[in-house]
Amino acid sequence: MDAESKENLVYKGKRYVYEATGIDEGKHQLAMKLAKIDGTVSFPSTVIMIGNNVVYKNNSFMSKKEVMKILTNVSETYKSNQLGM
């Protein structure tokens, strides 16, 4: 999702909204919740989810190669867990 999205979203039964911080500025509550690592949020942030579960977070820029490596690892781990390996 885009951290500046103004769309209201429901996640795990709770409603999250955009919070304005100035004129044409603000952040979405859900993006802030999902991107938080050790109490801190920085952008850009990457959060990978399977269903409603966060399986990976990163609060720094990632190259295409880095993203593809993480997605491959997450996919392989998910498939292994689904097959009971």
**Predicted local confidence at residue 83, as pLDDT:** 66
Residues 58-61: contacts with CB within 8 Å, 24+ apart? 59/35
CA-angle at 19, arms to 16 and 21, nearest 5°: 165
The domain locations on the chain are: 9-83
**Predicted local confidence at residue 81, as pLDDT:** 80
pLDDT, one tens digit per residue, over 60-85 is 999 999 999 999 999 998 888 876 65
Rounded average pLDDT over 53-59: 93
pLDDT, one tens digit per residue, over 28-53 is 999 999 999 999 988 899 999 988 88
Which structure tokens are listed for 70?
């993480």
Rounded average pLDDT over 12-31: 93
